[in-house]
Chains A and B, each alone.
Chain A
Amino acid sequence: MWGTEWPRFEVIKQDTERSLPQMVGSVHATDPEHALLVARHVFVRRPSAYALFVAPAEAFFHVTQEALKDPKALEGPLGEEEAYWVFAKKSHRRSMVYGDLVGRFLARSPGEAVKEALLEAQGVAFWAVPERLVAGTEPTPEVVESWFAPAREKTYRLQSYYGLVTAKEVEHEA
């Protein structure tokens, strides 16, 4: 089915109920369920999270601003109309920003979906993926709690919990 390497899934993380899902990186996994579990270990050891989504890396259509100069960049075969998630990278300078979700667009191809997104958002690069290929954690309180509370409550979550460590101030452990 695949070589000695599991397929790659792009990981999309939503920090809080109100924040936009963002593309944060990728993991290798056998199936979407496995990808979600691995994504939690890799991307949510400490940060807050409300939801995680994954989709097969090869299902993403990607186009850069540079490529958009070519008017044919968004053309391609048209299929049945379906929902796409479109992400945009807003600036070349902000190093942590990868792709922010622009929205959900009904279109007959990923290129069409990006065209729709371009009416709403500027960006230096865009990604589009069919919604049917996106799997995610459920936004119910029980799921959010069981998936993400452990990271929030981790004893050694943040370096600031250590305060300032100096030779004068260290005391013996109880």
Chain B
Amino acid sequence: MKGYFKKYNWIFPVGLAGLSFVFFQFFYPYHLFFKEQIQLFLYTPDYFLSYFKKPAWLSAYLGDFLTQFFYLRGGGAAILASLFCVEWVLTVRVLKRITSSTKAGLWALLPASADWVLHCNTLHGVSVSVGFILVLCMFLIYAALSGAWISYAILILFSLTGYWLLGSSFLIFPFLILAYDFNNQRVHWMKWIIVLVVTFAIPPVLRHHYLLTPIQSFIFPAFSKQSLLLQGALLLSVISSFFLKKIEATYSQLISFGIVTVLAFVLSLGIINKADFNLEKVLSLDGETYFGNPDRVIELSKKYDLKNKQAAYFTNMALTQKSLLAENLLDFYQPFSLGLIPPVTPEENWQSIFVSNEVFFLIGDINMAQHSAMLGNTFSPYQRSSRMIRRLAEINMVTGDSAAAMKYLRILSKTLFHRKWAESQVKMVQSSETNKWLAGKRSQVSDADLLRKSNDYLSSLQFLVVQHPDNLVAVDYLLCYLLLNKEVKLFRENYDRYYLKLNRAVPKVYAEALLIQLVTDKASQQEAQSYSIHPEIVTRFTEYTRIFEQTSGDMSALNKQFSKSYWFYYHFATIQKK
């Protein structure tokens, strides 16, 4: 066993890269797709220059450059795995420079693992990882210089430009210098103080120029203080390897085993703690919606059986696209109508606002779709989102606002992965051709007007249906909206007014709701029969009513047999306020 860890040092980076790749590719891929969607990387000089408006232009630009590849399946996982690998390699070199520890390969796993955990958050950018890699490079350059004057020159240069180039990632630099000198028994109080003061004075001084709050100035380009964990992990590696170096020879295997065990434990705990697998599931539904796979959304939704409004939102849209909403609405969790049309208000979290345009675009409420897409773009972390720009282009193509559509398409034509789509759409706009999709969307758009409050979805749905009675998506959304809000009387009125004219078979949920209202209205048998409700549903309704009356409305007696029925929802569904 002696020297095992040293001999097989390559296992660490390869194992780390492999495991992280597997994790992000197979257990966490939709977070990475989402990270691409909330940014917009353009190949223009102006876009490059926009990075100079804030600190960390180099790490932010390179980070965003890499993030665009998250659009590709496997691209995000491969890039992150590679970054962790590079972090490990550089950390090993840094540790060897500072502490000469024989366990550097093990200690170096700590920062890379911390970065892995941090990347479980949608807001943790690649720029932080790039900044970390670059600051390690800066340190290694400094440490490699033997001449005193040149090392001082480089130190001054790095200290003055580090924040400008790398932002908060540079804050670790003076500590590395200090540790390096300390280990080499070189005491340079003046140098240490100057480097420390300069490094930590620059953020608060430059924050006025960059218009950052005090906290933002110390964490930029990250959005959260948690991102400092990466630097904390490096410091911990340096300190630990420094203090344990003396006993490394004696307790080599024990230390190695201890580090690996602790690391595995910390990594597992970190991932369990920080990885939001529920959000990953929601993002998987969102991602498949974005990529136009309603079948996959329904499949995933069945598998996950999530009980939240976001999951219901994507599931309902997928069901609608497959004309199954009225049939299968209650096969899935429904938080009243919040899962149909979520509120779009500044009080909602940005991710909900970001995806809110999808439903409006689907049902044909094109103005609200535009409003939501603009909000989505503005509320996204970088205020420029490839997904929102694409949607805004689509919306303006649908409304025939060519100038606005072209504006967005020209922006997308400067990207790597949306260019092809944009160019094909430009041809369509310029040739005034319409494909089936565009013609279909345009047929939903209304020239008539209604003024309504942003959260008055009922008026909006009724308006859409009145304008285009053949818009089955809007009809289903209207009827299901009423049903989920238990407005059964209104449901029947609207059903009679709009759905009957479509000459379609009465779906299960509608049939169940109609039976309730027919009984309430004391409808004649002839009237009831005119709805052509399937006899099996009528029989089940009779059975439901019998048990309900027999048990005085005991939910548990009905749950097994009728939990997916509208009758059950009507009687027992309640909103629990948190």
Q: Do A and B bind each other?
A: no
